Every structure is written in structure tokens, then in C-alpha cells.
Amino acid sequence: MAGEFRSKGGRREPADLDLWRRETLVLPRPKARERAREFLKRFPKAAYQSEVESWRELDNGDIEFTMRRLPSAD
């Protein structure tokens, strides 16, 4: 039984059971801000637990960032 596993609450689960939907983008700073605002407006934190999971500034000034959310709150 080979495969990638992640620890979750003290037990190991297959990585493909990760419930989060992630989107990683690289954009100039103004576009990155705009895109993150649109994402958080479309998928509010209260319903989807949305957040900008990580970000960093690249050498050329662009921003690489990953946004995550739950797939549905229905």
C-alpha cells in the first residue's frame, strides 16, 4: 500500500482526501490584490473558510500566492 499520506488529528490519511481547493497564481502586485479580493468576496470566509494560505514576493516584483477554500458550503 504505497502512497502519500498526511497526518490529520493524530491519524494518517491519504493525501488525496484533502478537502481544500487550492489555487496558486503569480501576478503583479495590483492584480494579485484584486484577484485575492474577488476570491474572498466570491467565497466568504464564514461559509468556505477561505484564506490566502501563503504568498511571497518574487525577484521581479510579482506576487506568488495560494488561496484555499472548502469546495462547498451547501
Q: Is 63 exposed, middle or buried (0-12, 13-18, 19+ CB in 10 A)?
A: buried
Element (H, E) at 59: none
Residue 17: the pLDDT is: 65
Per-residue pLDDT of 23-65, as tens digits, reads 999 999 999 999 999 999 999 998 899 999 999 999 999 999 9
Contacts of 44 (CB under 8 A, 6+ apart): 50
Residue 12: the pLDDT is: 55
Element (H, E) at 53: strand 51-57
Element (H, E) at 8: strand 5-8
Please state the rounded mean pLDDT for residues 61-71.
95
For residues 54 and 12, which has the higher predicted lDDT (pLDDT)? 54
pTM of the predicted protein model? 0.71
